[in-house]
Structures are given as C-alpha cells and as structure tokens.
Amino acid sequence: MTGRRPSGARERDRPTPDVGSAVEIALHYLGARPRTRWELERRLRRTSASEEVIAGAMERLARLGYLDDTAFARWWAEQRDRHSPRGRRMVEAELRQRGVSREVLEAMRGSELSEPGLDDEILPDSEAERARTALDRHMKGRPLPDDFKALQRIGAFLMRRGFDPDTVRATLRAAGRDDSGER
C-alpha cells in the first residue's frame, strides 16, 4: 500500500474550481449521457465548488442549452421505450430519483412520454403497448404458459416493471388470446 494516497486525498489536493473549470467538469460529465440539473449540481458539489461557482456554471450551461429537465425526461422515457419498456409509474419514479421536478412530471403526464416523429422507429404509445412489448421481450418468442403459477410470475414481472394490475391482466388476457389463436 506504499505510494498510494488515502481515498479522499485527491479531492483535498485539488484547488476549488472557478466557473470555467466547473463548466468543463460538467461538460465532461455530460459526455456520457444527458443529465438533469440536480445531477450536475450534485457532481459539481463533489468537486468542492462554492455555491456561487455552481450557480454561475449552471447559468452558463443553461444558456448553452445543456440544461433542460423536460428534454431529459423525454429522452429518458424514449430510451426506456426503446430498450427496456417500463410502466409510466416506474419511469416517473426513475425520473424523480434523478431530480426531475414534479411540475415536469405533471406536464409529461398530460402529454405523450415520447415525441412523435423523432425518428423512423415506431415506439409504443400507450401503457398497454408498452406492457405488451415488455412481455414479448420477456417471453422471447415462447408461448404463454398455461400454468396459473407461471402466469402469476409473469404478471409479477410486469408489475415490477411499473405496470398497474389492470394493464397487466389485460395484457396477459390479450397475449393468451393471441397464443391460442395461433395454434
């Protein structure tokens, strides 16, 4: 263990950042994926930047168009629909964990989670379509089982993905009709 610094030594040895270097730190952090205002503020606080420096950096980033929680929420929901469909409740919980305000979530609740026409791929529009997509991905082409316990486990899977019980029941009923119609 010789030659190694204690875990917090690097942060203590760094000078506190000014607004320009705080903006650079934030832009580097934004390089991986879009972030919310809360996530960026939290990241800058870890660099021991003063509140004035953080406020100045956040103002500059907002002017440059890097801070938009509404756009982030739309992007997050679209990514969820594309890669790992979740129910509206789960998507909202994930957004709250990332610091998206209640006002943004309420505005999204009234509109669609994803903007139509962003790309050529068709994303699910309704909660039922999202649940069906999640079920199809989970089943991987296998038919829906007839066993009651297996259906309960699949229903629990969908509920853990944030779908409400009514949507889960309707999705399983529709999938059962589709499977029996194919035989």
Considering only residues 180 and 48, tell me which one the structure prediction assigns the higher pLDDT: 48
pLDDT at 3 over 50: yes
pLDDT at 163 over 90: yes
Q: Is the domain 16-64 a CATH 2.60.40 member?
A: no
- CB burial of 1-26 (b: ≥16 within 10 Å; e: otherwise) equals eeeeeeeeeeeeeeeebebebbbebb
Q: Are 144 and 154 in contact (CB under 8 A)?
A: yes
Work out the pLDDT band at 2, boundaries 50, 70, 90: low
Considering only residues 112 and 162, tell me which one the structure prediction assigns the higher pLDDT: 162
The rounded distance, in Å, linking the Cα atoms of 134 and 137 is 5
Rounded mean pLDDT, 127-131: 89
Give the HSE-up count for residue 179: Cα atoms under 13 Å, Cβ half-sphere.
Answer: 16
What is the pLDDT, as a whole number, of residue 110?
73
Rounded mean pLDDT, 131-152: 91
The full set of domain ranges for the chain reads 16-64, 69-110, 127-182
What is the pLDDT, as a whole number, of residue 81?
85
What is the pLDDT, as a whole number, of residue 111?
67
Which of 109, 111, 114, 106 minimizes the C-alpha distance to 133? 114
Work out the pLDDT band at 120, boundaries 50, 70, 90: very low
Quote the pTM value: 0.71
pLDDT at 29 over 90: yes
What is the pLDDT, as a whole number, of residue 119?
45
What is the pLDDT, as a whole number, of residue 157?
95
What is the pLDDT, as a whole number, of residue 38?
96
